[in-house]
Amino acid sequence: MVVLQALFLVVVIYLAIRLLHLDQVSEAPKLYFKEGSAFVKNILTNCSILKDTYVPTLLWGKSGHLQTFIYAKLGRVKSPFPKGNRHYLEMPDSALMTFDVFEPYTSHISKDDLTILICPGLANSSEASYVCTFVHYAQERGYRVAVLNHLGALPSVKLNTPRMFTYGCTDEFSRMVDEVKKLYPNSKLLAVGFSMGGNIITKYLGESKENEKKFLCGISVCQGYDALRCVPLLLDWHHMRRAYVYVMTAHQKTLLKHHHDVLLNEEVKQKYGLDEDKIMASTSLLELDEQYSSFTDYYSNVLLNAEDDPLVPPALVDLAKQHAETHENYLLVVTKHGGHLGYFQSGLVVPETITWLDRSLIQFADSVVSLQQFIRYK
C-alpha cells in the first residue's frame, strides 16, 4: 500500500510538472526588428523590461491555458475600477457609440499632455477588469486614457440600431480619435489595442498617412494578424483552440440575446434574411458570421505576443516577424509565457494586480515619449 501511495504521488508530481510546465525556464522576451534600426536602439535604451526576464506566477504562470483561463474569468486580481466621463456620439447610420475618458492623477514626467486611446478585445469595454487595471496604472503615471466601448458590449447601454461591433471595422475607433483631438487639441496620442482591438488599431493606422500622423506610436497586444489564415487554425483542436472558439461564440450569442429586441426582431430578420435558429445553433465565430454576411467580404478588409497564446498560433506571429524585420520603426516582442492577455507575474499562487503586460506597455510608451522629446529639442 505504501509503495502504491508513493507511486501515485510520483505520478501526480510528474503530471503537475508537465501540465504546468514547471520544468521550463523563464526567459527574457525575444525581440524582432530591422537590423540597425535607430528607433529600436533608442527605445531599448529606456525600456529595460523588454530585456529582463519575465517571471510568471510560480505555480501556474507557465501554463498558457491557465494564464488565458484566469484572465478570461477574473480579468485581473483585485482590479481597481476607475471612474471616467462617458461620451455619446451618433454615427452616420444613427448607431449610438460611446467611449470613456479617464483623467490622469498626476502630471507625466515629461510634462507633456498625453492621451492613450484603447481599443479593447472582443466584446469588451472600459468596464473589463483588465482594461480597468491598465487604465488606473496609466493614470498614476500621468496619462489620460480614452477607451472605446464596442457597440453592444456595455450592459447598461442599449443598441439603438440593428448592428454590433465587427472585427475589422475602424469607424467607431476613428470617430473616438477625432473627438479626442477636438477635446484635447494639444494632447499627444498613443494607441493601444488588445487582441481584436489590436487588429482594429493597426488597420486604422494603415488606412492612411493622415491617421499615422495623429499618433506617436501604436501598440498591438496579442493580435492575430491575419483573420483568413487564422480561421482554419482556430477550428482545429490543437492547443484546445476549438474549445476557446466555442466559448467565445457562446459569449457572442449571449450579447445577441441581450440585444434581441433590436438585433433579432421580426422586422430585422425579414429585412436581412436572418435565420435566428441557425444563428443560435452556431458553435464557431465563422458559423455565426456566415449568417450575417459573406465570410470573405467580412474579413478581407510596437507588436506583443506570447509563444504559449492558445488563440494566436505561432504561424500567425511569423507574419509579424517578417514585417518587423523588414520595416523601420517596428518592434515585435514575443514572450515565452503569458497566454492570451494574461501576463500575470510574481507570487506563488496569487499574482500581483499589475501585470508584466501593464508595466511593459507603460514603459514602452514612456520610451516613445522620451524619444520624441529628444528629437524635438535636438
Catalytic one of 309, 337, 360, 367: 309
CB within 8 A of 361, min separation 6: which ones?
A: 134, 192, 219, 221
Q: Read off the C-alpha cell for 281.
A: 445553433
- DSSP strand pairing (96-102 vs 144-149): antiparallel
Q: Are 157 and 125 in contact (CB under 8 A)?
A: no
Q: Are 56 and 337 in contact (CB under 8 A)?
A: yes
Q: Read off the C-alpha cell for 153.
A: 458590449
Q: Are 141 and 366 in contact (CB under 8 A)?
A: yes
Would you call 23 a catalytic residue per the annotation?
no
Rounded CA-CA distance 272/374 in Å is 54
Q: What are phi and psi of 20, to 5 degrees?
A: -95, 0
Strand partners, 115: 144, 189
Rounded CA-CA distance 377/152 in Å is 45
Q: Are 131 and 125 in contact (CB under 8 A)?
A: yes
Catalytic one of 125, 195, 282, 360: 195
Catalytic one of 308, 340, 360, 366: 340
356-377 helix and 129-140 helix, angle to the nearest 10 degrees: 40
Q: Read off the C-alpha cell for 228.
A: 483568413
Would you call 318 a catalytic residue per the annotation?
no
Q: Are 140 and 105 in contact (CB under 8 A)?
A: yes
The length of the chain is 378
Q: Read off the C-alpha cell for 332.
A: 515585435
Would you call 346 a catalytic residue per the annotation?
no
Sort 309 into a burial class: Cβ within 10 Å, 0-12 / 13-18 / 19+: buried
Q: Are 76 and 359 in contact (CB under 8 A)?
A: no
Q: Which residues are catalytic?
A: 195, 309, 340
